[in-house]
Amino acid sequence: MCNNLVMEYVKFWILVFCTFTTISHTSAESDEDDDYLTFPPGFRLGAGGAAYQIEGAWNVSGKGVSVWDTFTHTYPQNIKDGSNGDVACDSYHKYKEDVRLVKEIGLKYYRFSLSWTRILPTGYPNVVSKDGLRYYNDLIDELHRNGIEPVVTLYHWDLPQVLEDQGGWTNDEVVNWFGDYARIVFTEFGPKVKIFTTINEPTSFCREGYGHLNRAPNKDLDPCGTYLCGHNALKAHARAYHIYDREFRPTQNGKIGIVFACPGQIAKNPGDEATVDTYYQFTCGWFAHPIYSEEGDYPQIMKTRVAKNSFDEGYFRSRLPVFSPKWIEYIRGTADYFGLNHYTSVLVEEAPKERETILDTGIHASVDSSWPDTATSWLKIVPSGFGGILRKIRDEYNNPNVFVLENGCSDNRTTLSDTQRIEYFYSYLKEMITAIKRDGCNVTMYSIWSLLDNFEWNDGYAEGFGIVQVDFKDPNRTRTPKLSVDRWKEVVRTRKLQPLNPTIEDASELFGHQGRKRSAKC
């Protein structure tokens, strides 16, 4: 009997110990999880939009014609609903209302782009529009009056048509054209703007505009046009950077960078990190490596593969243009921050030539059928890819200061109850905060894309990325906040992520491993 009593006594204390340990462990996990929902001190939240997508007033006050004006007017069949950006959100006239929305949400900055042709109607600096300058000065002043920092992009895809008629981004004179434009922008707005972005996503407009009959300027010049466009875009960016650095930084003391489109990449065959890296180098690394790597120039894998393919196809030289040592040095280091646009991820695998692959990579990209869809065909919800790309940037470039300048998902514009978007933001931002706090990634700004539903390029107004709905059938372009606006107000107020379902404390409960959704809330 004594032995039985001793055993019961031992069991009792084992149970107490295990219970206490479990409670402590659970509490520690809960504290850690809670920490990954809270923004670090000083972290800034903002929202954005782009000139052609929101401004409208396409021919007001002497504005010149851009490639997107021409494209949508000439090829309306290439836009899903046959629409254009002639009026768009009419932000040219309603900018004060947009600023008020940003302030009501509590966001600290607003990212917008300038229309080159609104400032320089002829594309050249011989004619500077006073009305164009007045509009942007009024917008910047209105932001400052409301305690909101302007983040200004010089180029978001709307090249003056007169310059495109001379070859656009495939003409190396664009380096001088862009430099002239940049100098006027810095002169006029630099005293009031502390963050500039030169070019938004050169990967996108070079591939889609010069490699396919898909987007403006609607030229299928591959297999050479895409690379020639990218080559000149890097030179033009560097020219603008050095103009700012030499002529304006001493008095204006701002920051200037470029924005890279960096999708996430996940190996279709576990452990195939070589393919993951190759895909990265041909997408994000294409433009980031020349600026951020210690050696500069294009990624080695990119130079090697394009050269081999070119020679195999009968060319006498690589289709990827070659930078001189002088240009390599001129481009290297030309960014004060790493501008990141990220939306989704893909599965990648090596593929034989006869299978469809991304230009020259030898890689086939696909998606997991279990990844949740959005209203945009290419955008699947894969939160883990966001953390993955932030860690890749950290490791590739000695942990640069990252500004996330676009992140968001779309809806079909039929409801104000955008619950999927709320889930998307929650899961992606938790990945970002985890990458910052656990993995040491140097991310200091995050931009909601976008503030407003707007003209979504080839998709027209059939879908919307905005947290604010715009009625494009109403001449007044009435703005109506969606459910996500209320959620963002709470997030900004508390500096903490707020899940759609308060009982769900982990993004994996929403989307599972690598974004696999367990319950639909669309």
Q: At what angle do helices 225-243 and 273-292 cross, to 10 degrees?
A: 40
First CA to last CA distance, the chain: 63
Distance separating alpha carbons of residues 88 and 55, to the nearest angstrom:
6
Active site residue 294: no
> How far, CA to CA in Å, does 255 sit from each of 128, 150, 249, 327?
25, 12, 8, 22
Q: How far apart are CA 330 and CA 234, in angstroms?
A: 10
CA nearest 338: which of 277, 258, 281?
A: 258
DSSP string, 313-382: TT-SS-SS----HHHHHHHTT--SSEEEE---EEEEEE--TTS--STTT-EEEE--TTSPP-SSTT----
Interatomic CA distance for residues 373 and 377, integer angstroms: 7
Could you confirm whether 201 is annotated as catalytic?
Answer: yes
Question: In sequence order, what are the beta bridge partners of 47?
Answer: 110, 448
- φ, ψ dihedrals at 272, nearest 5°: -85, 65
Catalytic residue selected from 164, 188, 349, 406: 406
**Exactly one of 55, 201, 423, 431 is catalytic; which is it?**
201
Give the other-Cβ count within 10 Å of 497's Cβ: 22
Cβ neighbours, 10 Å, residue 153: 23
Unique residue bearing structure tokens 């006073």: 130
Q: Which residues are part of the catalytic machinery? A: 201, 406
